[in-house]
Amino acid sequence: MRLCIALALILMTSSVGVGLAQEAVTSPPDKAASKQPDQSSPQLAAVRAESKAFVDAFNKADAGAVAACWTVDGEYVDDAGETFVGRDAIAQAYGTFFRDNPNAKLQISIDSLRLLSPTAAMEEGRSLVEVPPSSAAIGRYLAVHVLVDGKWQMASVRDVTVATAVAQQNVADLDWLIGTWVAEEHGSKHESVCRWVSGQSFVQRDFTTTLFDGTQSSGVQLIGWNPQAGHVQSWTFSPDGGHSVGAWTPTEDGWAAQTQGMTGDGISTTSTNLLRRLDDDAYVWRSVNRTVGDGVISDTDEVVLKRQPAEK
Protein backbone atom coordinates (compact mmCIF):
# COMPACT_ATOMS: atom_id res chain seq x y z
CA MET A 1 0.00 0.00 0.00
CA ARG A 2 2.86 2.37 0.86
CA LEU A 3 4.40 1.90 -2.57
CA CYS A 4 1.22 2.64 -4.49
CA ILE A 5 0.59 5.74 -2.37
CA ALA A 6 4.12 6.94 -3.06
CA LEU A 7 3.84 6.28 -6.75
CA ALA A 8 0.86 8.59 -6.96
CA LEU A 9 2.98 11.26 -5.34
CA ILE A 10 5.81 10.56 -7.74
CA LEU A 11 3.64 11.07 -10.75
CA MET A 12 2.29 14.29 -9.38
CA THR A 13 5.61 15.86 -8.52
CA SER A 14 8.76 14.66 -10.27
CA SER A 15 8.30 16.62 -13.45
CA VAL A 16 9.84 19.71 -14.95
CA GLY A 17 6.36 21.17 -15.38
CA VAL A 18 4.64 20.97 -12.00
CA GLY A 19 2.99 24.23 -10.94
CA LEU A 20 5.33 26.44 -8.98
CA ALA A 21 8.37 24.33 -9.83
CA GLN A 22 8.00 24.66 -13.58
CA GLU A 23 9.69 28.03 -13.99
CA ALA A 24 12.63 26.96 -11.84
CA VAL A 25 13.58 23.94 -13.90
CA THR A 26 12.75 25.14 -17.40
CA SER A 27 14.33 28.59 -17.41
CA PRO A 28 17.46 30.18 -15.94
CA PRO A 29 17.05 31.78 -12.48
CA ASP A 30 16.41 35.47 -12.16
CA LYS A 31 18.59 37.46 -9.82
CA ALA A 32 15.90 37.98 -7.21
CA ALA A 33 15.09 34.26 -6.95
CA SER A 34 18.71 33.21 -6.57
CA LYS A 35 19.65 35.60 -3.79
CA GLN A 36 19.82 33.39 -0.74
CA PRO A 37 22.15 33.91 2.21
CA ASP A 38 25.10 31.52 2.21
CA GLN A 39 23.81 29.35 -0.65
CA SER A 40 24.77 31.97 -3.24
CA SER A 41 28.10 32.90 -1.61
CA PRO A 42 31.30 32.44 -3.66
CA GLN A 43 32.73 30.16 -0.97
CA LEU A 44 29.81 27.75 -1.00
CA ALA A 45 29.64 27.87 -4.79
CA ALA A 46 33.26 26.69 -4.81
CA VAL A 47 32.42 23.89 -2.36
CA ARG A 48 29.54 22.77 -4.57
CA ALA A 49 31.91 22.75 -7.54
CA GLU A 50 34.31 20.53 -5.60
CA SER A 51 31.47 18.14 -4.73
CA LYS A 52 30.54 18.00 -8.41
CA ALA A 53 34.16 17.26 -9.30
CA PHE A 54 34.07 14.32 -6.89
CA VAL A 55 30.89 12.95 -8.51
CA ASP A 56 32.37 13.39 -11.99
CA ALA A 57 35.55 11.56 -10.98
CA PHE A 58 33.52 8.75 -9.41
CA ASN A 59 31.40 8.34 -12.54
CA LYS A 60 34.59 8.09 -14.62
CA ALA A 61 35.91 5.41 -12.22
CA ASP A 62 39.03 7.55 -11.71
CA ALA A 63 40.24 6.58 -8.24
CA GLY A 64 43.17 9.01 -8.37
CA ALA A 65 40.94 11.96 -9.21
CA VAL A 66 38.49 10.90 -6.50
CA ALA A 67 41.28 10.82 -3.89
CA ALA A 68 42.54 14.22 -5.08
CA CYS A 69 39.27 15.72 -3.80
CA TRP A 70 40.55 15.03 -0.24
CA THR A 71 43.25 16.87 1.64
CA VAL A 72 46.64 15.11 1.81
CA ASP A 73 45.79 13.64 5.23
CA GLY A 74 42.02 13.48 4.66
CA GLU A 75 39.85 10.81 6.26
CA TYR A 76 37.12 8.67 4.70
CA VAL A 77 34.84 6.39 6.75
CA ASP A 78 32.81 4.06 4.53
CA ASP A 79 29.34 2.68 5.21
CA ALA A 80 30.85 -0.40 6.90
CA GLY A 81 32.73 1.77 9.39
CA GLU A 82 36.17 1.16 7.89
CA THR A 83 38.46 4.20 8.00
CA PHE A 84 40.92 5.24 5.29
CA VAL A 85 43.39 8.05 6.01
CA GLY A 86 45.41 9.85 3.33
CA ARG A 87 45.00 10.06 -0.41
CA ASP A 88 46.89 6.85 -1.13
CA ALA A 89 44.63 4.77 1.11
CA ILE A 90 41.50 6.47 -0.24
CA ALA A 91 42.62 5.95 -3.86
CA GLN A 92 43.27 2.27 -3.15
CA ALA A 93 39.83 1.84 -1.54
CA TYR A 94 38.03 3.43 -4.48
CA GLY A 95 40.19 1.57 -6.97
CA THR A 96 39.11 -1.71 -5.41
CA PHE A 97 35.47 -0.59 -5.48
CA PHE A 98 35.62 0.40 -9.16
CA ARG A 99 37.29 -2.91 -10.04
CA ASP A 100 34.62 -4.91 -8.23
CA ASN A 101 31.72 -2.72 -9.40
CA PRO A 102 32.30 -1.75 -13.05
CA ASN A 103 30.10 1.00 -14.48
CA ALA A 104 28.95 2.16 -11.02
CA LYS A 105 27.35 5.60 -11.11
CA LEU A 106 26.81 8.11 -8.31
CA GLN A 107 24.19 10.79 -7.73
CA ILE A 108 24.15 13.08 -4.71
CA SER A 109 21.60 15.51 -3.33
CA ILE A 110 22.91 18.19 -0.95
CA ASP A 111 20.47 18.75 1.91
CA SER A 112 22.57 21.25 3.88
CA LEU A 113 25.69 23.25 3.10
CA ARG A 114 26.99 25.92 5.46
CA LEU A 115 30.17 27.75 6.32
CA LEU A 116 31.68 26.97 9.72
CA SER A 117 34.40 29.59 9.26
CA PRO A 118 36.01 31.40 6.31
CA THR A 119 38.10 28.26 5.68
CA ALA A 120 35.74 25.42 6.67
CA ALA A 121 32.32 24.22 5.52
CA MET A 122 30.01 21.33 6.37
CA GLU A 123 27.93 19.42 3.79
CA GLU A 124 25.17 16.91 4.52
CA GLY A 125 23.25 15.02 1.89
CA ARG A 126 21.99 11.81 0.34
CA SER A 127 23.61 9.55 -2.22
CA LEU A 128 22.47 6.96 -4.72
CA VAL A 129 25.00 4.50 -6.16
CA GLU A 130 23.75 2.38 -9.06
CA VAL A 131 25.71 -0.70 -10.12
CA PRO A 132 24.39 -2.40 -13.28
CA PRO A 133 22.65 -4.64 -13.88
CA SER A 134 20.52 -4.81 -10.72
CA SER A 135 22.12 -3.20 -7.68
CA ALA A 136 21.48 0.16 -6.04
CA ALA A 137 22.55 1.57 -2.67
CA ILE A 138 21.01 4.57 -0.97
CA GLY A 139 22.89 6.40 1.75
CA ARG A 140 23.53 9.57 3.68
CA TYR A 141 26.84 11.36 4.06
CA LEU A 142 28.53 14.09 6.09
CA ALA A 143 31.51 15.92 4.60
CA VAL A 144 33.76 18.58 6.10
CA HIS A 145 35.49 20.79 3.52
CA VAL A 146 38.51 22.99 4.22
CA LEU A 147 40.23 25.68 2.17
CA VAL A 148 43.83 24.69 1.41
CA ASP A 149 46.06 26.96 -0.70
CA GLY A 150 43.02 28.60 -2.25
CA LYS A 151 41.24 25.35 -3.10
CA TRP A 152 38.38 23.63 -1.26
CA GLN A 153 39.03 19.98 -0.43
CA MET A 154 37.39 17.34 1.73
CA ALA A 155 39.03 16.80 5.11
CA SER A 156 36.58 14.21 6.40
CA VAL A 157 33.73 12.21 4.83
CA ARG A 158 31.47 9.68 6.52
CA ASP A 159 29.00 7.46 4.65
CA VAL A 160 25.99 5.67 6.13
CA THR A 161 23.87 3.22 4.15
CA VAL A 162 20.12 3.74 4.45
CA ALA A 163 18.05 0.58 4.38
CA THR A 164 15.28 1.00 1.84
CA ALA A 165 11.89 -0.59 2.05
CA VAL A 166 11.47 -0.39 -1.71
CA ALA A 167 11.18 -3.84 -3.26
CA GLN A 168 9.98 -4.81 -6.68
CA GLN A 169 6.21 -4.79 -6.70
CA ASN A 170 3.53 -6.04 -9.03
CA VAL A 171 2.72 -3.23 -11.45
CA ALA A 172 -0.93 -3.61 -10.47
CA ASP A 173 -0.09 -1.40 -7.47
CA LEU A 174 0.04 1.53 -9.87
CA ASP A 175 -3.71 1.22 -10.38
CA TRP A 176 -4.21 3.43 -7.33
CA LEU A 177 -3.18 6.59 -9.17
CA ILE A 178 -5.22 6.15 -12.34
CA GLY A 179 -7.48 9.17 -12.65
CA THR A 180 -7.32 12.96 -12.51
CA TRP A 181 -5.45 15.11 -9.98
CA VAL A 182 -5.60 18.88 -9.50
CA ALA A 183 -3.51 21.41 -7.57
CA GLU A 184 -4.44 25.10 -7.37
CA GLU A 185 -2.01 27.61 -5.92
CA HIS A 186 -1.71 31.42 -6.25
CA GLY A 187 -4.10 31.59 -9.20
CA SER A 188 -2.41 28.77 -11.12
CA LYS A 189 -3.97 25.37 -11.80
CA HIS A 190 -2.17 22.10 -12.48
CA GLU A 191 -4.11 19.11 -13.86
CA SER A 192 -2.74 15.60 -14.36
CA VAL A 193 -4.48 12.70 -16.08
CA CYS A 194 -2.95 9.27 -15.36
CA ARG A 195 -3.60 6.13 -17.43
CA TRP A 196 -2.08 2.72 -18.11
CA VAL A 197 0.14 2.21 -21.18
CA SER A 198 2.26 -0.63 -22.61
CA GLY A 199 0.02 -3.42 -21.39
CA GLN A 200 -0.15 -1.91 -17.88
CA SER A 201 3.65 -1.94 -17.53
CA PHE A 202 3.83 1.85 -17.07
CA VAL A 203 1.60 4.72 -16.12
CA GLN A 204 1.55 7.72 -18.41
CA ARG A 205 0.77 11.09 -16.87
CA ASP A 206 -0.28 13.93 -19.15
CA PHE A 207 -0.09 17.22 -17.29
CA THR A 208 -1.18 20.79 -18.04
CA THR A 209 -0.38 23.92 -16.06
CA THR A 210 -2.55 27.01 -16.49
CA LEU A 211 -1.11 30.23 -15.05
CA PHE A 212 -3.20 33.09 -13.66
CA ASP A 213 -2.96 34.95 -16.99
CA GLY A 214 -4.34 31.99 -18.94
CA THR A 215 -0.96 30.85 -20.31
CA GLN A 216 -0.74 27.07 -20.58
CA SER A 217 2.10 24.56 -20.76
CA SER A 218 2.00 20.80 -20.88
CA GLY A 219 4.17 17.70 -20.79
CA VAL A 220 4.22 13.96 -20.29
CA GLN A 221 5.70 11.60 -17.71
CA LEU A 222 6.24 7.84 -17.50
CA ILE A 223 6.55 6.06 -14.17
CA GLY A 224 7.47 2.47 -13.35
CA TRP A 225 9.90 0.08 -11.72
CA ASN A 226 13.50 0.17 -12.93
CA PRO A 227 14.66 -3.46 -12.49
CA GLN A 228 18.23 -2.70 -13.50
CA ALA A 229 18.71 0.05 -10.93
CA GLY A 230 16.40 -1.56 -8.38
CA HIS A 231 14.19 1.43 -7.58
CA VAL A 232 11.09 3.33 -8.64
CA GLN A 233 11.93 5.78 -11.40
CA SER A 234 10.24 8.53 -13.39
CA TRP A 235 11.01 9.95 -16.84
CA THR A 236 9.57 13.40 -17.58
CA PHE A 237 9.48 15.36 -20.85
CA SER A 238 8.44 18.97 -21.47
CA PRO A 239 7.39 20.46 -24.82
CA ASP A 240 10.52 22.63 -25.13
CA GLY A 241 12.71 19.51 -25.20
CA GLY A 242 13.58 19.59 -21.51
CA HIS A 243 13.61 16.31 -19.62
CA SER A 244 14.45 14.83 -16.23
CA VAL A 245 14.94 11.48 -14.50
CA GLY A 246 13.91 10.90 -10.89
CA ALA A 247 15.13 8.24 -8.44
CA TRP A 248 12.79 7.77 -5.47
CA THR A 249 13.47 6.68 -1.89
CA PRO A 250 11.09 6.33 1.07
CA THR A 251 11.12 8.70 4.05
CA GLU A 252 9.38 8.45 7.41
CA ASP A 253 6.18 10.12 6.22
CA GLY A 254 6.38 9.90 2.44
CA TRP A 255 9.02 9.96 -0.25
CA ALA A 256 12.00 11.99 -1.45
CA ALA A 257 12.96 12.12 -5.11
CA GLN A 258 16.35 13.09 -6.44
CA THR A 259 15.89 14.44 -9.97
CA GLN A 260 18.44 15.39 -12.59
CA GLY A 261 17.75 16.75 -16.05
CA MET A 262 18.14 19.65 -18.42
CA THR A 263 16.10 22.42 -19.97
CA GLY A 264 15.32 22.59 -23.66
CA ASP A 265 18.33 24.90 -23.97
CA GLY A 266 20.65 22.26 -22.52
CA ILE A 267 21.07 23.81 -19.06
CA SER A 268 21.41 21.18 -16.33
CA THR A 269 18.81 21.03 -13.53
CA THR A 270 18.59 19.26 -10.17
CA SER A 271 16.07 19.16 -7.35
CA THR A 272 14.87 17.15 -4.38
CA ASN A 273 11.10 16.72 -4.26
CA LEU A 274 9.56 15.97 -0.86
CA LEU A 275 6.17 14.28 -0.55
CA ARG A 276 3.97 14.01 2.55
CA ARG A 277 0.65 12.17 2.67
CA LEU A 278 -2.40 13.86 4.19
CA ASP A 279 -4.99 11.17 3.39
CA ASP A 280 -6.01 8.87 0.54
CA ASP A 281 -7.02 11.79 -1.68
CA ALA A 282 -4.62 14.59 -0.80
CA TYR A 283 -0.86 15.15 -0.55
CA VAL A 284 1.58 17.91 0.23
CA TRP A 285 4.43 18.51 -2.20
CA ARG A 286 7.51 20.68 -1.95
CA SER A 287 10.70 21.01 -4.02
CA VAL A 288 14.03 21.97 -2.39
CA ASN A 289 17.75 22.02 -3.19
CA ARG A 290 17.00 23.23 -6.71
CA THR A 291 19.57 24.37 -9.22
CA VAL A 292 19.58 25.49 -12.83
CA GLY A 293 23.07 25.51 -14.30
CA ASP A 294 25.30 27.10 -11.67
CA GLY A 295 22.41 29.00 -10.06
CA VAL A 296 20.57 28.06 -6.86
CA ILE A 297 16.76 28.35 -6.99
CA SER A 298 14.59 29.19 -3.98
CA ASP A 299 12.61 26.32 -2.43
CA THR A 300 8.95 26.18 -3.43
CA ASP A 301 6.04 26.66 -1.08
CA GLU A 302 4.05 23.58 -0.13
CA VAL A 303 1.41 22.61 -2.69
CA VAL A 304 -1.66 20.50 -1.89
CA LEU A 305 -2.64 17.96 -4.56
CA LYS A 306 -6.19 16.55 -4.61
CA ARG A 307 -7.81 13.68 -6.44
CA GLN A 308 -10.82 14.62 -8.53
CA PRO A 309 -14.05 12.57 -8.46
CA ALA A 310 -14.44 10.21 -11.40
CA GLU A 311 -16.88 11.38 -14.03
CA LYS A 312 -20.16 9.49 -14.03
pLDDT score recorded for residue 227: 66
Mean pLDDT, the chain, rounded, equals 79
pLDDT score recorded for residue 32: 34
Structural contact between residues 14 and 222, judged by C-beta atoms closer than 8 angstroms? no
pLDDT score recorded for residue 252: 72
Let me know if the fold of 2-32+167-307 is the same as that of 36-161. no
pLDDT tens string 160-218: 876 544 333 445 556 677 788 899 877 889 898 888 887 677 878 898 989 888 888 89
Instruction: Break the chain into its structural domains and give their ranges.
Output: 2-32+167-307, 36-161
Instruction: Spell 171-209 as b/e; 16+ CB within 10 A means b.
Output: bebbebbebebebeeeebebbbebeeeeeeebbbbebeb
Which backbone phi and psi does 146 adopt, to 5 degrees? -130, 155
Instruction: Domain 36-161: give its CATH code.
Output: 3.10.450.50
pLDDT score recorded for residue 88: 96
Task: Give the CATH architecture of domain 2-32+167-307.
Answer: Beta Barrel (2.40)
pLDDT score recorded for residue 21: 38
Taken as a whole, the chain contains a residue count of 312
pLDDT score recorded for residue 309: 87
Smallest Cα–Cα separation from 14: which of 5, 27, 25? 25
Mean pLDDT, residues 42-51: 94
Smallest Cα–Cα separation from 203: which of 4, 2, 1? 4
Which backbone phi and psi does 4 adopt, to 5 degrees? -70, -35
pLDDT score recorded for residue 312: 60
pLDDT score recorded for residue 202: 80
List residues bridging with 296 in a β-sheet.
Answer: 291
pLDDT tens string 215-232: 888 999 887 777 666 677
Examine the pLDDT at 251 and tell me if it is beyond 80: no
